[in-house]
Amino acid sequence: LISMWIVTAPLAIVWMLLPFIIPISEGLLTYGGAMVIGIPLIWMLNSNGINPVIVLAGLSLLWPLGDGLPPTALIGRLTVSTVGYKGSYGSFLKECVVPWVAITVVAMILVIFANKFNFLMMVG
């Protein structure tokens, strides 16, 4: 049902929900989010004439954000233990808000304005 909704939803609604749906799907489905949402999303955007390579570049910035979200929080918990962070995991996530928002803004610019970035694909 999620895949069907992605394909049939109005583009404006998809743009508004992507910054939330993509990280949450990664947090819940771990690496299955790209399969459940990513493939139909790329198919739908490509059929609307939007450059799928640039869109994937933007989405590749959004999906890893979900690795820090509970319930799985694989990368986030590993990072907290590796760097020796002393606070709670919730306070760690709060400290990550500014970079999270910056990454999300860049990713959404790449996704929404993908065709404006076609020059990035020029070879030679």
Report yes or no on 76 lying in a domain.
yes
> What is the tally of structural domains in the chain?
1
Say what the pLDDT of residue 23 is.
Answer: 86
Cβ atoms within 10 A of the Cβ of 35, count?
12
Report yes or no on 18 lying in a domain.
yes
pLDDT 10s digits, 85-104: 999 888 999 999 999 999 99
Q: State pTM to two decimals.
A: 0.83
Report yes or no on 84 lying in a domain.
yes
pLDDT 10s digits, 43-57: 888 998 999 999 999
Report yes or no on 10 lying in a domain.
yes
Report yes or no on 123 lying in a domain.
no
- Domain coverage including residue 100: 2-115
Report yes or no on 70 lying in a domain.
yes
